[in-house]
Structure 1
Amino acid sequence: MIAHSLYKEASIQNRYITHDMLQKCFAELPASSIEEIGQSVLKVPIHSFILGHGSKHILMWSQMHGNESTTTKAVWDMANFLRSNDPLAKAILENCTLMVVPMLNPDGAKAYTRVNANAVDLNRDAKQLTQPESVALRKLFEDFKPDYCFNLHGQRTLFSAGQVEKPATVSFLSPSSNAARDITPTRVKAMKLIAAMNAMLQKLIPGQVGRYDDGFNDNCVGDSFQMLGVPTVLFEAGHYPNDYEREQTRKYIFLALIEALKTASTDSLGQFSTGDYFNIPANGKLFYDILVKNPQVLNPALSGGSAIGIRFKEILENDIIRFKPEIIDVGNLNGFFGHQTFKCADSMDFEAVKSNRELYELLLQAEE
């Protein structure tokens, strides 16, 4: 197994990653490999870089949604590995040419929002192409003529890997290319590539890989590129226990990227089947960040043995992401799980809640 720590890009950490923060990373690359493919709404340059000289063309882009930064970190870790003397890295670059856009939405990244500066979700603009960032990606797609596309995203902590108490640390999707969700040859290639990554990840995070919903939307970039006959894989970087900065998840996305490149570069898709893909459990939505049981012990207004489900709202403050708890559900939450669970009837849990001032005050104000 590749030692991720050897290639982890130290200049970018945690959740808040901006265009300015990437300049040190770009400075490590040959200037000839970097291209400005367009500009954002606020006229921030959007850069790509190219690695390798092989016949298989692989296009990948990250931070289409500005607040989904985990895959951006993993992309630079991948670049560090591929520029090393590792035999696998050399083999990949001999067989593949990679075109990488590490930050498609720099305005959204700066503001830590999903949308761009015009409040448009770029992943719902594949058809109309109303935004400069969308136009830049489509032109790059048409000029580069990829054999595979990797659409790199992040997903919320609510997702489970199936209907079990396992977080979806990584999720994948081979997008549909029509409303009937037909299993086209293009989708099959993407499915087999996902199956290869899943086989590797199951050795590291067993039961923590999910399959994203394949409802068709031709305004989504992945669906659109799949419609155009290019196998496209959606990567979703999710939650690993106690890893809200997504540094552990970063490692698993890095390893998944390398596994996908290895599989594509060696024409190893035949080792996997669509059945392997569909054996990956469909994502559930079973997790709260905090699940509080028996809250009436703290707040008598919450009678009847209710439970409280709390999720964190991510707030940008002084270039740091703060996780603010917000009550989402109150009631019978049987069948749901918490990344952290407090049973207030337990004295230790009771004291733990009281010691968390923000959480304690939130619960005192809650109503049935």
Structure 2
Amino acid sequence: MNLEQLFLDNKEKTIEGRYLTLESVEPILKRLNTDNQLSVVGQSVQGRTIYKYVIGSGKTKIYLWSQMHGNESTTTKALFDFLNLLHSGTELAERFLSNFTFCCLPMLNPDGAFLYTRANANEIDLNRDSQALTQPESKILRAVFEEFKPDYCYNLHDQRTIFGVADTGKPATVSFLAPSYNEEREINASRQKAINLIAEMNLVLQEFIPGQIGRFDDSFNINCIGDTFQYLGVPTILFEAGHFPGDYQREMTRKYIFIALVSSFIGICENVVVVNRTKEYLNIPQNKVVFYDLMYKKVKINYDGNEKITNFAAQYKEELVDGKINFNAYIAKIDDLENFFGHEVFDAQGASYEDEDGNFPKIDQKANFCLGKEQKFVNGLIKK
């Protein structure tokens, strides 16, 4: 099976980029509502609709939710690509629809999506509200869980560009976690199924992005929704869509999340969950904070009359302006960059640093500067 072609055949072309709001996805949901699959399950803090989409007639029940964090839209795009596949009329679609019942909350936090914030409109992180259930969105997620009684939970997220695969120098383009169900991080039958599915998805993804799959730390936190559902005995998988080189709009990563979803459901059909694949899972390197977006090496600076050669790094902040996400680069680290990597690296070869304020970079200032007389950098990149 050509999984890349499968993605291209089913990609939802009406959505792209990072800023994905309820207004973006409502027309798609209504178009896919061919047989009353769509329903309203509640409203957000600010009164936006939270939709549930249920499709399939199979006995194995899959619960998927995305954009629990409003600024994490990559998995939402991939989820709609997958829903298109289920409507494709192909043999694979029929196989999935007869084996599974899928229950999706495509955008759990529509207020955060509109504001492009991690938290909801009350500034609460919904992924730390699984016990207190103080927010309407958290209550909806839990109520649908209890009504649907899933066999598997898919917790769909994005992760920042700072994450790499251990110390390999490769970005963590996709990361997974089978959350713990207790403080001891033990493996019971439920968690084992999640582990086995992750091992299968990793096996498939390594063919496309070798060395770019990471594993999250499994410290137990009952306030996190994945840990809660795992604790309640339902195999739960955390998906994290990360950085692919040059892909700040996460359109390449979107493809790999789609491939992971498809391969996991094929795996369940083929019963890969009955084999103990813990060793494979643990061999996936852990995520590590090792990346900056932009790194500048061998830069000459003049600080209080003292010249020296140093390094510095800049990080993008994703800022919503007039309905668009701007990636604005700010100086984030100076000097000690040992054991860190840059998604873009510039070798100044001893050229002198200069900006409007002086001869050395300062933390949190915009990355607009010159290196020597020839290279002018605007928003962290060389002005051409």
CA RMSD of aligned residues (A): 1.8
Aligned counterpart for 1:123 among listed residues 112, 127, 135 = 127
Q: Is the 8 A contact 1:353 1:360 kept in 2?
A: no
Counterpart check, 1:47 vs 2:51: yes
Structure 2 residue aligned with 1:156: 160
Aligned counterpart for 2:375 among listed residues 354, 363, 367 = 354
**SS of structure 2 residue aligned to 1:305:** strand
Structure 2 residue aligned with 1:111: 115
Instruction: Determine the C-alpha separation between the residues in 2 that align with 1:346 and 1:303.
Output: 11
String of CA shifts for 1:46-103, please: whole Å, max 9, x gaps.
0010111000000000000000000000000000111112222211111000001110
Structure 2 residue aligned with 1:12: 15
Point out where structure 1 has 5 or more consecutive residues left out of the alignment. 362-368
Structure 1 residue aligned with 2:143: 139
TM-score normalised to structure 1 length: 0.94
Counterpart check, 1:332 vs 2:336: yes
Structure 2 residue aligned with 1:364: none
Instruction: Determine the C-alpha separation between the residues in 2 that align with 1:39 and 1:288.
Output: 37
Counterpart check, 1:290 vs 2:290: no
| Alpha-carbon offset, residue 186 of structure 1 | 1.2
Instruction: Determine the C-alpha separation between the residues in 2 that align with 1:73 and 1:303.
Output: 49
Structure 2 residue aligned with 1:21: 24
Instruction: Determine the C-alpha separation between the residues in 2 that align with 1:66 and 1:229.
Output: 27
Instruction: Determine the C-alpha separation between the residues in 2 that align with 1:59 and 1:101.
Output: 8
**SS of structure 1 residue aligned to 2:240:** strand
Q: Which has the higher helix share?
A: 1
The amino acid across from 2:98 in the alignment is E
Counterpart check, 1:167 vs 2:171: yes
Percent of aligned positions that are identical: 46
Instruction: Determine the C-alpha separation between the residues in 1 that align with 2:190 and 2:274.
Output: 14
Instruction: Determine the C-alpha separation between the residues in 2 that align with 1:331 and 1:249.
Output: 31
TM-score normalised to structure 2 length: 0.90
Which deviates more from structure 2 when the two are superposed, residues 132-141 or residues 267-276? 267-276
| Distance change >3 Å, CA 134–CA 192, structure 1 → 2 | same
The amino acid across from 1:86 in the alignment is T
The amino acid across from 1:356 in the alignment is F
**SS of structure 1 residue aligned to 2:157:** strand
The amino acid across from 1:5 in the alignment is L
Q: Is the 8 A contact 1:56 1:265 kept in 2?
A: no
Instruction: Determine the C-alpha separation between the residues in 1 that align with 2:133 and 2:143.
Output: 11
Instruction: Determine the C-alpha separation between the residues in 2 that align with 1:209 and 1:164.
Output: 11
Q: Is the 8 A contact 1:195 1:272 kept in 2?
A: no
Instruction: Determine the C-alpha separation between the residues in 2 that align with 1:103 and 1:351.
Output: 48
| Distance change >3 Å, CA 249–CA 360, structure 1 → 2 | closer
